[in-house]
Amino acid sequence: MIPKLRIAHMAPRLPIIQGGMAVKVSTGRLAAAVAQAGGIGTIAGTGLTQAELVDEIRKARDLTAGYVGVNVLFAVQQFAELMLTAMKEKVDFVVSGAGFSRDMFTWGKDHGIPVLAIVSSARLAQVAEKLGAAAVVVEGKEAGGHLGTDRSVNELVPEVAAAVRIPVVGAGGIMDGFDIGRLLKLGAAGVQMATRFVASLECEAHARFKEKYLSARAEDVVLIKSPVGLPGRAIRNNFTESIAGEGRRAIEHCERCLKRCSAKFCILEALRRAAAGDVENGLVFSGEFVHRITEVLPVQEIMDRLAAQLGQALAAPANA
């Protein structure tokens, strides 16, 4: 029997949260599809205007009555505005990555919205719990995008689960139901998956973005230095080669999207370019095990396969 993930009022059929991938990769359509298929969907608010975020939330609500939330990168200038916009739209939850603030828990309490925090250590998980987090997403080094640790999610989940009483959601490198089963056995209440859902029909990233995932080999996944001030995991291309080492890309127009920026390159422009189809001159974030994806499928089929594999994993003997 598959255990229930319970976070505040949310109790999805499957213990799977779809991760928020910016810019315009995790949209309302993808989040709704995951929610409709029995998981929890997440819209990436980073890089959107407040009006665009409202549109994506309402699009998702038109497509499903399931659980849908919003992720916003803590490092962006519009963090507060986007978080409050999501809360006013009465999303099911909000979650922050690459850091979190005391304020967001206060806003969540004021609006009656559960707040989740993405963390990379037991200490940060305890801080988030003390501030009022409804759950923590423990992200290991295997994840795509910005990384807060060089440790595996397999090491982190048991430590965090022993340190807090709120639900612990494992994230990073989870590609199938057997991976989910392993983390549940290590103490996670559920998992967050992002990379696998890019290769879905409902993901609105360009077809060439998805093809980049399908053609990626293990050795094509690299770490880059992000102007956010954190390492990031992406698929090697012309862009990653140009910023390797001390390389920089000229910034033609700065929208001042980040609170602090190294100006190594414009991350907003790079992410937008990739999602729109220029996968050689844009930044294609992905998880470490993207090479394990072999086909683009409807979200419902992805979720059905995950559920079947998870059932097998949980039924297997502990030493199998």
**pLDDT value at 320 more than 60:** no
**pLDDT value at 318 more than 80:** no
Considering the domain architecture, whether residues 186 and 241 belong to the same structural domain is answered as no
Distances (CA, A) of 285 to 58, 198, 300: 26, 10, 24
Helix axes 79-88, 50-63, angle to 10 degrees: 30
What's the average model confidence in pLDDT over 131-147?
97
Predicted confidence at residue 316, as pLDDT, reads 85
Q: Is residue 3 part of a domain?
A: no
Domain that holds residue 127: 16-204+295-315
Q: Is residue 226 part of a domain?
A: yes
Distances (CA, A) of 13 to 9, 37, 258, 304: 13, 8, 37, 11
Query: In the structure encoding, which two tokens stand for residue 271, read together?
Result: 């992410």
Lowest mean pLDDT among 6-15, 139-148, 232-241, 258-267: 258-267
Distances (CA, A) of 118 to 73, 79, 150: 10, 15, 15
Distances (CA, A) of 306 to 237, 286, 311: 30, 19, 9
Strands 231-235 and 145-146 turn out to be antiparallel
Measured between alpha carbons, how far is 151 from 137 in angstroms, rounded to an integer?
A: 15
**pLDDT value at 183 more than 90:** yes
What DSSP letter does each residue of 252-286 carry, written as one string? S-----BSS---SS-HHHHHHHHHTT--SSS--B-
Considering the domain architecture, whether residues 163 and 231 belong to the same structural domain is answered as no
Reported as type and span, the H/E element at residue 170 is: strand 168-171
Residue 119 near residue 97 (C-beta atoms within 8 A):
no
62-71 pLDDT per residue, tens: 999 999 999 9
236-295 pLDDT per residue, tens: 999 999 999 888 998 888 888 888 899 899 999 999 999 999 999 999 999 999 999 999
Reported as type and span, the H/E element at residue 79 is: helix 79-88
Considering the domain architecture, whether residues 42 and 104 belong to the same structural domain is answered as yes
DSSP-derived 3-state class of residue 139: strand
Q: How confident is the model at residue 97 (pLDDT cuts 50, 70, 90)?
A: confident
Total domains, the chain: 2
Considering the domain architecture, whether residues 83 and 168 belong to the same structural domain is answered as yes
Considering the domain architecture, whether residues 121 and 235 belong to the same structural domain is answered as no
Measured between alpha carbons, how far is 102 from 211 in angstroms, rounded to an integer?
A: 40
Q: How confident is the model at residue 1 (pLDDT cuts 50, 70, 90)?
A: confident
DSSP-derived 3-state class of residue 62: helix
Reported as type and span, the H/E element at residue 71 is: strand 67-73
Considering the domain architecture, whether residues 24 and 151 belong to the same structural domain is answered as yes
71: CB partners within 8 A, 6+ apart? 19, 20, 22, 26, 42, 43, 44, 45, 46, 94, 95, 96, 97
Q: How confident is the model at residue 38 (pLDDT cuts 50, 70, 90)?
A: very high
Considering the domain architecture, whether residues 22 and 96 belong to the same structural domain is answered as yes
Predicted confidence at residue 319, as pLDDT, reads 62
Residue 109: half-sphere exposure toward Cβ, Cα within 13 Å = 8
Considering the domain architecture, whether residues 225 and 184 belong to the same structural domain is answered as no
Residue 145 near residue 285 (C-beta atoms within 8 A):
yes
Predicted confidence at residue 162, as pLDDT, reads 98
